[in-house]
Structure formats: structure tokens, C-alpha cells
Amino acid sequence: MRIVLLFVDFINLHILNSMKFWKSTLAVLFFVFIGYITFVFVYTPDKIVLTETEYAILTDKKEVAAGTNDTHYITTKLFGFIPIKRVAVDILPFDNVIVGGVSIGLVGNIENEEDEKISGVGILSFINPQNNNFSALGHQMTDFDNNKQVNLSGGSVYAVETIGIEKTNNKKTGVIKSILKSSEKPEGSIKKGTKFGVSGCLYADSEFLTRLSQNLPISTRYNVKSGKAILRTSLDNNKIEDVECQIIKTRYQSRKADKSMVIRITDKDFLERTGGILHGMSGSPIIQNGHLVGILTHATTHDPAKGYAVYIDFAEI
């Protein structure tokens, strides 16, 4: 009888210990779960930017009234069915663009400085086919007289004649040699220039509209992945070429910022001819999986084959 009682006590003790273990385990899992939900809620932005197509896919809506004053929303869900946060969505006013890749001459009025102008050459990034608005350069223009970056308010854009390149050598960044045809008829007007490039509108008879024809969908920052991509640019005689590259790093950016991506040129022929990314290539569009995803902005100083880019939804337009 005593043995039976001892056995019962052992079983009860074992059950009690097991209950304590599972209570502790469940408590830990509960706090981890609450911590995860809190993390997702805090770090999910209050507002995001999507194309019409991206928004329609997320919400199963066949049509989206982009460009209206209507407020759009999506709800983030845990495991696909537990609502966590309602997020406002800005719908980009365009879903497809004409891809750039040609040199463009920029003569802009420096903001808040009367009669002060600045000129430069970069790459035309893309054109909105709905209204011929364009985006170029991907970064602020620099006033080399005082080595200061400046914003633009108005100006004109011109055709450019490319006459050759100076190859990158001993980590000194090379340059595309070009002539800005500012004495000829302007190809369009500049609206503004900011940290994220130069925007404006091309005239209906602009040669840029004649030269460029490929229309591609765009993908916002949420769909850009590390991996193979194409950099579209032009060097000799303004010939457009697609250069193989690799997106080696993408950064999570909840709001507009530079250096969104790090890319590396992998095209051996291009590197042999140029030595790396050149001055004058800023604004070159980046294409991944048939979508326009970014704009080249800078070369890195320590490795001329590497450069920085911004997400396409950050571009000035």
C-alpha cells in the first residue's frame, strides 16, 4: 500500500512539474507573440506608395481611381487573417513609363537666386507617357563655382552630343565627354530640381520622344530584390546600351532617402571600356524583371564598379 501511495505521489509531482513547465512555456510564447505584433505595428509605416497595379493586387480590386482625392488603404495581417494595422496608400499617378537612358542637357535657374543659372549633363531616367513629364539625374545639381548643391526652379533641357569617354583610372572616376547644345532649340522645360533629381516636361516635338519608345511598368521599393538587373545608359554617340549589373543591397526606407540600393556593374565588356561608372551616367534607369525599379545616382569612391541608386518611387517627377 505504501508503494502505491509513493507511486501516486510521484505521478502527481510529475504532472505538477509538467504543468509548471507548460505554463512557463506558454507565458514565454505569449510575450514573444505580443512583442512580435508590437514590433510589426510600430515599424509598419503609416503611409506607403504603390502603383495602381500593386495596390490592385494587394486588395483584389480590378480598378483603382489613381490621381483622385480618394484615400486608399490596405490592412496588414498576421498569418494572412489577423488584422494588425491599417496603412494609408498613396497611388502613383502613373503605372507605366517610357524608359530613358539617353544623355540630356540641363540648364536650370538656381532656386532663390535671381538670374543665377547652372548647367550640366546627366541621363534622362523616364518619361510619363500621359503628359510627357520627365525625371532625370536622380540627385541634386552641384554649383561647382562654390561646390554647393542647389535646388532648381525653372529652366530648359537640351539635346546633347556625346564625343567620347575618359576611362576611370587608378580610382579616379572617368567622365562622359559631351557637348550641351544650349544654342539650339530647347527640348522641354524644367519644373524643379531637388535632392532626388530634375523634373520637367518635354515638348511634343522633342527628339527625346522620338528616340525613346520602350514602355515598361514600374515597381516600387517594396518589390525590389537583390539579384540581377540591367542598367540602361548611353556613352559613345548617344547609343543606348543595356549593361548587366547586380543589385547587391537594398535598404528599407520608410520615407524618401538617397542610397536606397547598392549596385555593381558585372558587364565585362562595359568595364573594359569604361573602368566603371562614369561622371555623366547619373540618372541611368535600372530594370529588374521587366520593371523599372531605380535610378543610378553616384559611383562609390572605393570601387568604381559599384554605385548607389534610389528607388523609382523616390524620383523627382
Q: Is 291 a catalytic residue?
A: no
What separation, in Å, do the N-terminal and C-terminal C-alpha atoms of the chain show?
Answer: 89
| DSSP line for the chain | -HHHHHHHHHHHHHHHHHHHHHHHHHHHHHHHHHHHHHHHHHHS-SEEEE-HHHHHHHHT-S---TTSS--EEEEEEETTTEEEEEEEEEEPS-SEEEE--SEEEEEEEETTSTT-EEEEEEEEEEEETTTTEEEESSS-EEETTTTEEE-EEEEEEE-EEEEEEE--BTTB--EEEEEE-TTS--SEEEEEEETTEEEEEE-TT-HHHHH---EEEB--GGG--SEEEEEEEE-GGG-EEEEEEEEEEE---SS--S--EEEEE--HHHHHHHSS--BT-TT-EEEETTEEEEEEEEE-SS-TTEEEEEEGGGS--
Out of 90, 143, 267, 303, the active site residue is 267
Provide CB contacts within 8 A for 201, sequence distance 6+: 131, 132, 133, 134, 188, 189, 191
Determine which one of 139, 279, 291, 298 is catalytic. Answer: 139
Catalytic residue among 103, 199, 219, 282: 282
Tell me how many degrees the CA angle 267-169-273 measures, rounded to the nearest 5. 35
72 given a catalytic annotation: no
Examine the residue annotation and report whether 302 is marked as an active-site residue of this protein. Answer: no
CA distances from 65 to 55, 127, 314 (A): 11, 21, 21
What amino acid positions are annotated as catalytic residues? Answer: 139, 267, 282
